Structure 1
Amino acid sequence: MASLEQGLAVIRDAASALPAMPGVYRMLGANGRALYIGKARSLRARVGQYTQTRHLSVRLQRMVAAVQRVEVLHTRTEAEALLLEANLIKAERPPCNILLRDDKSFPHILLRADHAFPQLLKHRGAQNTLGRYYGPFPGVGDVNRVLAALHKAFLLRNCSDSVFAGRTRPCLQYHIGRCTAPCVGYVDPRGYAEQVGQAQAFLEGRSREVQAALAAQMEAASARQDYEAAARYRDRLRALNSVSARQDVDSATLGDVDAFALIQSDTRVCVNAVFVRGGQVLGARPFFPRHASGESRGSVLSAFLAQFYTSRPPPPEVVLSDAPDDTYLLCQALSARVGRKVSLAVPQRGARRNLLDFARLGADRALARERSARAGHAGGMAALAAFMGLDKPPQRVEIYDNSHTSGQEAMGAMVVAGPEGFCKKAYRKITLRESAPGDDYGAMGEVLSRRLRGGQDLPDLIIVDGGAGHLAVARRAVEAARLDIPLLAVAKGPERNAGLEALHKIGHKSVSLAHNDPLLHHIQRLRDEAHRFAIGAHRARRQKRMEGSALDAIPGVGPARRRTLLRHFGSVRAVADAPEEELARLPGISKTLAAQIRASIYQIYSTFN
C-alpha cells in the first residue's frame, strides 16, 4: 500500500497544478518511461480521477502505484488531444494502455500516372509516386491475387521503366496474354489508355460496366466469326469473374466502407476489420489488442480506432459492432485529419448490417483459431518443460541458428518464444565477425557468447539448431558466462528429413521422438522459425552487399554519380537492366562510362547468380 499511497500523492500534487483545459497526460515510471498516456477535455479533472482508485481496474491501480511523475501536453481542442494521444501511444507503447499490436502499413495497388504507358503494380509504404492508389488490402496475398487477375483482364505492363525503355521485342508477358507490348509499339497510347480506363473503372467499383463492355466485345467478335479474339475476351471476363466471385457479402451498394466487429472472451479480445472499396470487399484482417481484457467494448473500440487511423486515412464511412466511447469526438478528430466528413455508425439493418455480420463471423472464427493456437503452444511448452526436467513451463525460450553462403555474409539469428507464442520484438540478428568463414561451431559459439555477455532478459531454455558438437559449443558459452541455463540441440535427421530429428541434452544420449509426437512438432516449429529468420537476415545482408558494392567498385563512379544513378533508376538492379543509351543520357555519364557501368554490374550479377 505504501507504493500506492506514494503514487496517489504524486497524482494529487500534479492534478492540483493543472489547468482545466484540453491536453494529453503521460504517467511516468521510475525510469522515465511512460506507463500510461491519456487525453482529457479538462486535464485537472481527468488526472484527478485517478485518485479514486475504487473506480479503477486492477491494471490501472498497478499503474497508479508505479507513477513517479506526471507530464502534460496542452492542445487547443479535445479532438487534437485525441489525435496526439493516439500518436504518442503508437510511438511509446506504454504498458498500461490498450495497444494495437500489428501497426504495419497495408499494401495497395498503384496505377501510375507519371508515364505514357502506366504500370499496374503492388505498393506498400509512403504514397509518393504520382498515380491512383487502391486499397488497403489486408495482406500481400490478397494484392497478388487481384493483380494477377487484373493483368489477365486488362493486359497492362508490370515491368520497370528501364526494362520498358530497353525492350526491342515483346517479353514473355505478351506471349502468355498478359500485356499488349506497348514497349515495342504493338499498341498505341490511345489504345493503351483505353485499357487503363477499363482497369481504373473496375478498381473504382464499376465492375458490372466493365464486364458488360467485355461481354459485348466478345459477342461482336463471335458474330463476325473471329473466334480467337472472342476467346481472348472470354478469358479476360473469366479473370474479372474470379475476383468478383470471391465476394462473400453483397457489397455493390456500399462504396468505400471499413467495418470493425469486436468479439471478447474471458482473456482475449479480437477486432476483425473488413475493407470495402468501390463496392468490392478487399479482404479482412483480425487484430488482437493487448491489455484489452476486462475493458468495456466501447473503450476498446475507441482506443483501437484512434491508433488504427494514425497512419491510414479513414474512408467516409466506418461501421462498428458497438458504439465507441467518445463517438462524436472520434468523428471530429478523423474528419479533421483527412479534411472531409467521416461518420461512425452501428447499423441495425440493410447491407451495412450484413457486412458487419460478416465481420463478426470472421472475428469469432479468428478468436477460435487464436484460442486453439495458444492452447497448442501452451501444451507444447508444458511438454517441453517435462522433457527438459524443468519445474514449470519456460517463460522465455531462445532458439539460435546461423546462415551463410560458402562462409560469406554469415549471420546468426535468435528468436524468442514466450507463454503466448513468438515474441518478435525480441528477435535479434547478429553479424558474425570473429568466427572463421564456414566454421559453424565457431559461429554458434560467437553468437551465444555475445548474447550472454550482457546478462539481461536471460532465457529459461536455449535451443540450438545442430547436433552434439553444437551442444558442446553452447555449453562452453553458458559456462564461460557463469550461468546455469538448460540446453537442447536439435539435429536434422538422415538426409535432413523432418520427423527424424535427434534431440541432444547434456548428460543424456540423443533421443528421437515419434514422427507424430506433439512435442516433436512443437520443437520443429521453434527450430523452423529460427531457421526462417536466419535465412532472411543472411539474404538481406547478401543483397545489400551485392548492390552496395556493384556501384562502389566501378572506377569513375563516385558518390555524386552513384546518387544520380540511384535517383533516376531507383535500384542497382534497374541500373543493371538499363540500356547504355539511357545511362549515357544522364548528366556526368559519358558513353564510355555507361559501357563500363553495364559491363561491371553485369559481371557482379552473373557471379552472384
Structure 2
Amino acid sequence: MDAAAVRSRAADLPAEPGVYQFRSGETTLYVGKAVDLRDRVRSYSDPRSDRIRGMVERADAIEFAVTDTETQALLLEANLIKRLQPRYNVRLKDDKSYPLVAFTDHEVPRIEVTRDPDAGAVAYGPFTNKGRVETVVKAIRDEYRLRGCSDHKYAGRERPCLDYEMGICSAPCTDEIDPASYAEDVTAARRFFEGETGVLADPLRRRMEAAAENAEFERAANLRDRLAAVEAFHGEGGEAVSARSDDRTVDVLAAAVEGDVARVARLHSERGQLVDRSRHRLNAAAADGLDGTGTDHGGAPDVIDGDDYANTPAAVLSAFLTQYYAERPFPDAMLLAERPDDSRVVDWLEGEGVAVRVPGAGREAKLVELALKNARKRDGRDDPTGALGERLGIGRPERVEGFDVSHAGGTAVVGSNVCFVDGSAETSDYRRKKLSERNDDYANMRELVRWRAERAVDGRDDRPDPDLLLIDGGEGQLAAARDALAETGWDISVVALAKAEELVVTPNGPQRWPDDAPELHLLQRVRDEAHRFAVQYHQTVRDEVKTVLDDVPGIGPETRKRLLRRFGSVENVRAASTADLTDVDGIGSTTAERIRGRL
C-alpha cells in the first residue's frame, strides 16, 4: 500500500479504541492496538522506520475491530498475535527444551518426566536440572507408589508388574489399591511440586535416620543423597519474596535482548516460597525483508522513532505481559526489572488487582536480579536445531527424520519414519511400513532406510529430503542404515541414539553429550516419537495378523489377542507351560492342552 491508500483507508475507520491488522492476502503481517483507530492507522502513511515502511508496502489491506475500552483492545491484540503469529510483531514462544513433571489426565494418573505433556495433563516446571528431576520423581514413586506405565500397558494388565514387586507402584491396574486411596497419594505428590517440600523430605529423612540406626549405612547414604536432591529441588531464591502478608502469589519477571533474540525469565512464588521458574523466548519482529528485530506496539506515533524501539527490555516486557497473562491467572504482585514501555499495560495489570513494583533494594531486588540472570543465560536452548548442527559439524538440520523398527520375535515386523521440522513434529510427513518377517534388527533397519532412500532417489517420495536421519539404536543399527544409504547413493547425514546410555552414535564413534544439552533433547524427542509410532503400528499389525492360533478350537479373536499380548509371539506361546497358559483370562486347562497339542 502507498501513502495515499493508507490515508484513504484510515478515513473510513472510526475514532474509537480497537485493534487493526495489516494484511497481505490471507496473511496477517502486523497486529496493533489503538486508542483512536483512525489517527493511529493514518500515522502509517508516513512511517518513521524502514522496517515499518517495508511492512506497509507489503500490505494490501487493513482490517480492524472496535472495542469498548483500551483494555479490551490490549487483550484482543495479545490474542490475535498468539493465534496469527504475524512476522512484524514480537511473538511469545515458550521454551520446551526443559523437562516438566506431568500427572496425566486419567482416572488413575501416571507420573512422568516429559518435554511434551499430553493434553489435559497437570504439569509442573519446566526445570533446568534433568538429573535432579528424575531423582525426585523416583523418590515420589518410592514414597507414594504412583504408576509410571503407559495407558496401553495399564489397560491390558492382568496381574501386577515388576514395579509392584519392587515396591514403586501400588498396582491400581489390578485393584491392589482402591481408586480413592490412589487419588490421595497423587494429591500428596502434587503438593510437593506445588511447594510443600516436607511431604517428601520428611518421610525421606525418617527413613534415612532409621537406616543409620540399623547400621544400613549404604542405604542411609543413598537416602541422604536423595534427600539433598529433594531439598534443593525448588532452587535458590526460596526465601520470602516479600514482607507483605497480602502477597500470596508473586511473579518476578525480567527481560534480556541480544540481537534478534529476546528472552523473559519468570519466577513464581506462593506463600513466600519460590515454587516455579521458567524461561520464554520471544520471536522478535521482522526487519524489512529479514527476520530482524524491532516492533511497533501500536502506541502513539511520537513514541516510535526507529527500529531500536523494539530492542529494549521494556518493550519486550510489554509484549510478554499482555500475551502471557491474557489467558492465565494473575498473581497478587509482580516484581519487574523495569517498567514496561507501554503505561497501559501497567494500568491494565493494576486494574486487575495486581500490585506492580520495580524494587530497588532488599529481598525483592535480589529476586529480580536472579530473574535477570536467568533471562541473560545464553545457550543452545534458544536454537536447539542450530546447536545440533554445530555439534555434528553439519549445516543447520531444519528437517530431521527418525527411524525405528518394532516386532515380536520376528513377527509383525514394522518400521516407522517420523519427521521433525525446526524442532517440531510434522505429523503429516510421518510414514510407516511393513517389513520382512525376520528376527534381525540390523537387516530390518537396513530395509527400512533403503525403502526411504530408494523412494527419494527415484522421485517417488513427495516429501523434501531431510537434513539429518536419526536411527533408534546403536552402532549396529547405524552401520545398517549407512549401508542402505551407500547402496542407493542417497547422500544424507545420519546418526543414531542408543537408549541405554543415551549415547549419540556418529560415523566417527559414540559421543556422550551433556544431559541438559538442548541438541540432545531434540534428538531424544525425535527418537522417542519414532519409537512410539513404530510400537503403535506393530500392535495394530500384530492384532490383525492371522496366526496358527486361529485354527485352535475354542480360541476366538479376543483370546488370541490376549495370548499374543501376554507372550509377545506365537513362538513364546509354543514355549509356555500349561500353567502359564491358564494364567491368561479365558483359557482353562482343556483349552491350554489344545493349544499345546496344536503348536
Asked if the contact 2:249/2:333 (under 8 Å) is kept, the reply is: yes
Counterparts of 1:140-159 in structure 2, within 5 Å, are: 141=130, 144-156=134-146, 158=148
Larger RCO of the pair (alpha carbons < 8 Å, separation 6+): 2
1:599 equivalenced with 2:563 (yes/no): yes
Q: Which amino acid aligns with 1:53?
A: P
What is the CA-CA distance between 1:444 and the residue it aligns to?
1.3
Distance 1:321 1:245 in 2: 25
Asked if the contact 2:170/2:177 (under 8 Å) is kept, the reply is: yes
1:17 equivalenced with 2:38 (yes/no): no
Aligned residue for 1:84?
A: 76
- 209, 230, 251: which is aligned to 1:258? 251
Q: Secondary structure at the match of 1:273?
A: strand
Asked if the contact 1:432/1:446 (under 8 Å) is kept, the reply is: no
What is the CA-CA distance between 1:242 and the residue it aligns to?
1.9
Distance 2:183 2:424 in 1: 45
Distance 1:200 1:425 in 2: 29
1:137 equivalenced with 2:131 (yes/no): no
What is the CA-CA distance between 1:119 and the residue it aligns to?
6.1
Distance 1:180 1:122 in 2: 19
What is the CA-CA distance between 1:160 and the residue it aligns to?
7.6
What is the CA-CA distance between 1:424 and the residue it aligns to?
5.2
Distance 2:536 2:520 in 1: 24
Asked if the contact 2:380/2:387 (under 8 Å) is kept, the reply is: no
Aligned residue for 2:41?
A: 47
- 300, 314, 319: which is aligned to 2:335? 319
What is the CA-CA distance between 1:18 and the residue it aligns to?
0.9
Q: Which amino acid aligns with 2:54?
A: R
- 320, 332, 335: which is aligned to 2:348? 332
Which has the larger displacement, 366-375 or 443-452?
366-375
Q: Which amino acid aligns with 1:14?
A: R
Counterparts of 1:65-144 in structure 2, within 5 Å, are: 65-102=57-94, 107-110=100-103, 128=120, 133=122, 135-138=124-127, 141=130, 144=134
Aligned residue for 1:543?
A: 535
Q: Secondary structure at the match of 2:318?
A: helix
1:299 equivalenced with 2:293 (yes/no): no
Counterparts of 1:115-514 in structure 2, within 5 Å, are: 128=120, 133=122, 135-138=124-127, 141=130, 144-156=134-146, 158=148, 172-173=162-163, 176=166, 178=168, 199=189, 202-207=192-197, 227=214, 239-254=226-241, 256-277=249-270, 279-291=273-285, 292=293, 294=308, 295=310, 296-309=312-325, 312-326=328-342, 328-329=344-345, 332=348, 341-366=353-378, 404=405, 409-410=414-415, 429=429, 431=431, 438=447, 440-441=449-450, 443-447=452-456, 450=459, 470=485, 473=488, 488=491, 498=506, 500=508
Q: Which amino acid aligns with 2:338?
A: D
Asked if the contact 1:257/1:275 (under 8 Å) is kept, the reply is: yes
Distance 2:483 2:172 in 1: 60
What is the CA-CA distance between 1:432 and the residue it aligns to?
6.8
Asked if the contact 2:405/2:413 (under 8 Å) is kept, the reply is: yes
Deviations 1:302-360 (A, max 9, x none): 11233334555454443322222345546737987xxxx44443232333322221121
Distance 1:148 1:450 in 2: 49
Asked if the contact 2:350/2:356 (under 8 Å) is kept, the reply is: no
Distance 2:338 2:417 in 1: 47
Distance 1:301 1:160, change over 3 A: same
Deviations 1:42-79 (A, max 9, x none): 2222222222312xx33222101111000112333332
Q: Secondary structure at the match of 1:25?
A: strand
Distance 1:399 1:277 in 2: 41
Distance 1:434 1:194 in 2: 45
Deviations 1:260-312 (A, max 9, x none): 32222344333233344562443443525333453132221111233334555
Aligned-residue Cα RMSD (Å) equals 5.8
What is the CA-CA distance between 1:544 and the residue it aligns to?
3.1
Which has the larger displacement, 183-192 or 407-416?
183-192
Aligned residue for 2:597?
A: none
Asked if the contact 1:155/1:180 (under 8 Å) is kept, the reply is: yes
Asked if the contact 1:99/1:289 (under 8 Å) is kept, the reply is: yes
Distance 2:100 2:28 in 1: 31
Distance 1:489 1:76 in 2: 57
Asked if the contact 1:14/1:70 (under 8 Å) is kept, the reply is: yes
TM-score by length of 1: 0.61
Q: Secondary structure at the match of 1:366?
A: coil
Distance 1:173 1:435 in 2: 33
Distance 1:600 1:122, change over 3 A: same
Distance 1:359 1:606 in 2: 58
What is the CA-CA distance between 1:10 and the residue it aligns to?
2.8
TM-score by length of 2: 0.62
Aligned residue for 2:23?
A: 28
Deviations 1:526-554 (A, max 9, x none): x9999878755643432332344567779
- 2, 22, 36: which is aligned to 1:7? 2
Distance 1:315 1:332 in 2: 13
Structure 1 spans left out of the alignment, 5+ residues: 1-5, 385-393, 417-421, 476-487, 502-514, 556-590
Asked if the contact 1:302/1:324 (under 8 Å) is kept, the reply is: yes
Asked if the contact 1:314/1:334 (under 8 Å) is kept, the reply is: no
Distance 1:13 1:552 in 2: 66
Distance 1:50 1:70, change over 3 A: same
Name whichever structure is richer in helix by fraction: 1
Asked if the contact 1:399/1:530 (under 8 Å) is kept, the reply is: no
Deviations 1:424-467 (A, max 9, x none): 5889835378999927445313235558979xxx99x9778976
Q: Secondary structure at the match of 1:97?
A: coil
